[in-house]
Amino acid sequence: MIITTSKQAKGNKVQRAQYLADKWEVPFVIRKKASMKALLREWNQPVYVVENDTEKIYHPDEEHPFYFHPSMAWLRAKRLLNNERDTFVEAAGLQEGMSVLDCTMGLASDSIIASFSAGEKGKVTALEGNRYMAEAVTWGLKEWKSGNESFDEACQRINVVVSDHVTFLQKQQSDSFDIVYFDPMFHETIDASTHLHPLKNLHGIMI
């Protein structure tokens, strides 16, 4: 993994990139005018990019980058606001004030809906074993603005923990959460799910 910025990155974003490089003990590369294809070709490893309005991870074997976007969660939240059904909420019996452990965070769609449904008195913890993906999603949860205050606050309440579920669960006391949720990735690729493609290779880059 290397860290860089977008070509138009402002000063504080350069500082953010340098901070992440120090935190992860990986190279920080000054972007200058280098294209992403050139960086991937030169380094032949994933590139974490700090941009002005998002943070993305590019992988040499993937056409599209990984980055946080709440599109599906936002659509589901709007349905809940219209008193429509959500399969996850119904199956889990999610109610206001509940505590939820999402053991397979990914893009955090289910974590967001859990937080949205559990409300201010609820607690949602989301686990992600890949520290780079966890960082990109955490940034998105804190910084993304949908224009709906209750939705944005639900995103910001989620506690992201970098850990695999086995290690984390072994450290918890009994009855620590009302709901423990798993939604593992498919073993076979679904070509139509292009937004999930970057997850496949990035999950091989663990802590």
Provide the pLDDT for residue 201. 53
Give the whole-angstrom CA distance, residue 114 versus residue 195. Answer: 21
pLDDT (0 to 100) of residue 184 = 76
Q: Which helix (H) or strand (E) holds 11?
A: helix 11-24
Contact yes or no for 45/60 (Cβ under 8 A): yes
What residues contact residue 53 under an 8 Å CB cut-off, 6+ apart?
A: none
State residue 203's pLDDT score.
55
Q: What are phi and psi of 119, to 5 degrees?
A: 75, -170
pLDDT along the chain (207 residues), means of 10: 94 95 97 94 96 95 92 94 96 97 95 97 97 97 93 97 96 96 64 48 50
Separation between Cα atoms, residue 84 and residue 28, nearest integer Å: 47
Q: What is the pLDDT of residue 187?
A: 43
Q: Which residues are paired to 160 by β-bridges?
A: 126
Q: Beta strand 66-67 with 55-58: parallel, antiparallel or unpaired? A: antiparallel
pLDDT on residue 11: 82
